[in-house]
């Protein structure tokens, strides 16, 4: 048998796969990509909290702030999903077949999307260890390419990474994302000609997301004392105006900055923060709100709860 003539050995009939992965999105793979923080939100991944929240009755052990009423938390989470759906955002739901860890609903920490697919995170706490398995399974089910899972002693939470332009990602390094995790993300993104700029997180900052929100290609809103000077300088070098929120009490107790950019100069924020809402509106930003006070007892709000799968302008 002359093997070199057979298609399986590269002969007649062989069909080489020469397309770039991005050319296969929407045909072989799900058409979900992200390359900015402000383009129109298209698809998200949420986990409606369940019986795992009973662990909040010992909030310190569950790494939460106070006991959470499950029924009220679920109503608020349903309202969040409904707000996305009213805005035309596709909502996918994580539905674990076994009881997940207590913080499973904070999906943003467990993944980070790129122009070619997802990076699966590795949470820094033993309490959250294993949450990433449920997200990885769902991403695979949806047909999202999983480009890398953080490994070794690296830790990385998606809420610590932020696209500041199509070729630059800011990564906050602290007690959630360590230097090894940031380096692994940088190695992957360098293959896409994307530079990772690591910046330290200030004491008291859980994630970069809690200190900074990007609202438009030239506008960022930040928490004074929580955003490192290095991060502010990187943003300004790339043409951003960095505006400081006026009420840190609302940020601390109302999680006023823990929202999601729905599109250029459009945000979804936790309700009950009037000074922060007025501040955004004075900047020409359209604001919608959803009550989050019960869910916030678990130490997170809209931004933490939302795994961003796709932004429309970032589709190939």
Q: Which domains does the chain have, with CATH numbers?
A: 21-314 (3.75.10.10)
- In sign, the C-alpha dihedral spanning 120, 196, 183, 198 is negative
- Which of 251, 188, 200 minimizes the C-alpha distance to 224? 251
**Which stretches does DSSP call E strand in the chain?**
41-46, 90-93, 111-113, 118-120, 146-149, 161-165, 168-173, 195-200, 212-216, 219-222, 241-244, 260-263, 266-270, 286-290, 307-311
- Residue whose C-alpha is closest to residue 32's, from 16, 15, 45: 45
Is 0.75 topped by the overall pTM? yes
| pLDDT tens string 260-312 | 999 999 999 999 999 999 999 999 999 999 999 999 999 999 999 999 999 99
Residue 190 has pLDDT above 90, yes or no: yes
**Which tokens is 151 given?**
């490994």
At residue 313, does pLDDT exceed 80? Answer: no
Burial (0-12, 13-18, 19+ Cβ within 10 Å), 19:
exposed
Percent of the chain past pLDDT 70, that is, above it, reads 98
C-alpha dihedral (181, 185, 187, 192), degrees to nearest 10: 180
Query: pLDDT per residue over 77-99, tens digit each?
Result: 999 999 999 999 999 999 999 99
């Amino acid at each position: 048998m002359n093997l070199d003539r057979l298609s399986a050995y590269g002969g007649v009939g062989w069909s080489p796969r020469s397309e770039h992965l991005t050319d296969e999105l929407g045909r072989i793979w799900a058409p979900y990509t992200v390359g900015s923080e402000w383009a129109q939100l298209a698809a998200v991944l949420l986990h409606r909290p369940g019986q795992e929240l009973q662990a909040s009755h010992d909030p310190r052990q569950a790494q939460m702030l106070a006991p959470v009423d499950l029924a009220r938390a679920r109503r608020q989470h349903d309202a969040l999903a409904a707000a996305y759906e009213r805005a035309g955002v596709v909502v996918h739901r994580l539905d674990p077949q076994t009881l997940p860890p207590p913080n499973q609903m904070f999906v943003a920490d467990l993944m980070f999307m790129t122009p070619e697919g997802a990076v699966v995170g590795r949470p820094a706490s033993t309490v959250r260890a294993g949450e990433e398995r449920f997200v990885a399974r769902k991403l695979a089910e949806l047909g999202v390419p999983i480009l890398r899972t953080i490994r070794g002693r690296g830790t990385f939470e998606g809420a610590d990474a932020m696209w500041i332009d199509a070729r630059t990602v800011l990564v906050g390094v602290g007690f959630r994302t360590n230097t090894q995790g940031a380096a692994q993300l940088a190695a992957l993104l360098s293959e896409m000609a994307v530079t990772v700029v690591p910046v330290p997180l200030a004491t008291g900052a859980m994630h970069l997301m809690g200190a900074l929100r990007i609202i438009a290609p030239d506008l960022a809103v930040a928490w004074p004392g929580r955003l490192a000077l290095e991060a502010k300088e990187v943003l300004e070098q790339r043409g951003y105006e960095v505006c400081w929120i006026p009420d840190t009490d609302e940020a601390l107790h109302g999680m006023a900055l823990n929202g999601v950019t729905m599109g250029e100069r459009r945000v979804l924020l936790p309700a009950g923060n009037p000074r922060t809402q007025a501040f955004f509106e004075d900047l020409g930003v359209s604001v919608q709100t959803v009550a989050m006070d019960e869910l916030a007892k678990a130490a997170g709000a809209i931004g933490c709860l939302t795994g961003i799968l796709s932004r429309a302008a970032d589709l190939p």
